Structure 1
């Protein structure tokens, strides 16, 4: 049976989800998405849902990407109304914002060239604004953005980030961070932006946790980069809370390079 590959652009508030991946007995983003899709396409229709990056419990997304394979006749029937009907079936804390037919060479996970995250920290005496409490953590010590910037520069490039990762068997902890910077927004919130080809589990939150100790003066700006010589996760690194983290963008090459990018990524991750 011929199928149509569809790219789905997804956003969600992770506060009430146990992460992205389906877990028995737990509410997850993939779980509610598959339930909604199943009501439209049929519960027995295999969709092959593949996501750009599995987010942990409590982590948010405004730029998540996944793909499904929908039978061509089902897509023809649903095409004009699929986005609207999904909006009616999805919960208020998860949205499919766009549905785009893509070549079968597109792979939401392996064709991606980068993932970009932001982490928000309020270091004001009163803490985060109530309306941003789900995506901004409070920090009791004042943060120095200049110190954070210096420390972040030492962590960019291609390195083995074993000290900042939860190691998985037969998986590499080598990654290439192409952007890591900090800013203070007009509302006073300090925001970290981190971009890499991919991330290990809890890697971004570990990087942020290490740098917050620099920003508030407890650690020297050169300390986080010294951990790159470690071959195991460092007990000195505190993992920052999940709710401050949001996946804001996933990048892809031109259409003609989908397959070659996916093949290269699979070789690298193996």
Structure 2
């Protein structure tokens, strides 16, 4: 056998010697091409993964209830220029555990579209997912997703829903909460003032007008609203400025930055810089057709706290909820340690000055603060809604959709 191979090799060499230079180059190029193709096939073989066959799976339409701490995210909705969104993490987890094939085929709806920095205790999404077809022993959706999600995003419950259920359009009301330190704010007058937003009003002066995206209807209904003290801070016996307060506002749907605009005006009222009737003035579109310029309230304290639905029976997995509680407790402990440490530092340094200082709530309003306060109704105003509509219509960019930013 060895002798035969040697003879073949000698014959191959003799054959190559008979070839011209051009023929040898062509031969070399052909061999190189074969080598590259062989390497590519080997590498592709290594990367081959088992493809999940969704055609063999049963499916069901469900709703998921989730909480998230949005402080480090660029908002809930997925964005093209960043992966740091809640939806990006959700769909990464949903596809990785093969609950859905893609977002486009999942019949997906979200209850609210929270902005950058905003959190939620009870966000709801609806979509069609893989099912094992057994109601009594369904897939453990919460556990599957929480294994893959970051610790600051947790699925806390799920529910089977009818096929045409939409987390957005079937929500009967949404509740937002906004927590803030008392500081130098008059909580009672803030509570009186916020009652003026209850009812059906045109909130164009208490939101960010999103005309470019087709939103031209700014009438919304607020069901209830109140501001109250929610906890006393006993670490500070000399000052009540460290007590925590809470705004709770319930509505059917909300506009872009509506809550934060309302809070911004309430803070000015609580500081006695504005009279509570300023809210009535801002809601009177005939007398105030253009929004005065004012700073937006901070996003940090805002939380989409509850979403109300009819005929949705939430299923809770005790093991998953226990894990969520443990995660939140660890988060709470970390922040309380920092809060207590800062509190002790403040207590000792405040003893060095004779007068009480209550600037805790000053951080609620964004932007540069003017040394001389100018009343809201005397400030420069933004362009009117009618002019904005004309502007975008003329440019051919306006598509009237009456979208709601929740």
TM-score normalised over the length of structure 2? 0.55
1:213 to 268, 275, 282: 268
Matched residue pairs, number? Answer: 241
2:302 to 224, 228, 245: 245
Q: Per-residue deviation at 1:50?
A: 1.2
Asked whether 1:167 is paired with 2:196, we answer no
1:176 to 213, 217, 221: 221
2:185 to 137, 143, 146: 143
Structure with higher helix content? 2
1:233/1:4 CA distance change after superposition, 3 Å: farther
Q: Per-residue deviation at 1:239?
A: 1.4
User: How many Å separate the matches in 1 of 2:134 and 2:403?
Assistant: 33
| CA contact 1:52–1:64 (8 Å) conserved in 2 | yes
Q: Per-residue deviation at 1:70?
A: 1.5
1:120/1:85 CA distance change after superposition, 3 Å: same
DSSP-derived class of the 1:41 partner: coil
Deviations 1:56-92 (CA, angstroms, capped at 9, x unpaired): 000000011111112445998x933321121110001
> Which residue of structure 1 aligns with residue 140 of structure 2?
81
RMSD: 2.4
| CA contact 1:164–1:233 (8 Å) conserved in 2 | no
| CA contact 2:59–2:130 (8 Å) conserved in 1 | yes
TM-score normalised over the length of structure 1? 0.82
Structure 2 residues not aligned, in runs of 5+: 1-54, 233-242, 313-400
Q: Per-residue deviation at 1:98?
A: 0.8
| CA contact 1:41–1:74 (8 Å) conserved in 2 | no
2:94 to 37, 45, 54: 37
Asked whether 1:224 is paired with 2:262, we answer no
- Tell me which of the two structures has the higher relative contact order, counting C-alpha pairs closer than 8 angstroms and 6 or more residues apart: 1
Q: Per-residue deviation at 1:148?
A: 0.5
Deviations 1:27-51 (CA, angstroms, capped at 9, x unpaired): 1001100000000116743323311
> Which residue of structure 1 aligns with residue 118 of structure 2?
59
Structure 1 residues not aligned, in runs of 5+: 125-141, 256-266
1:241/1:122 CA distance change after superposition, 3 Å: same
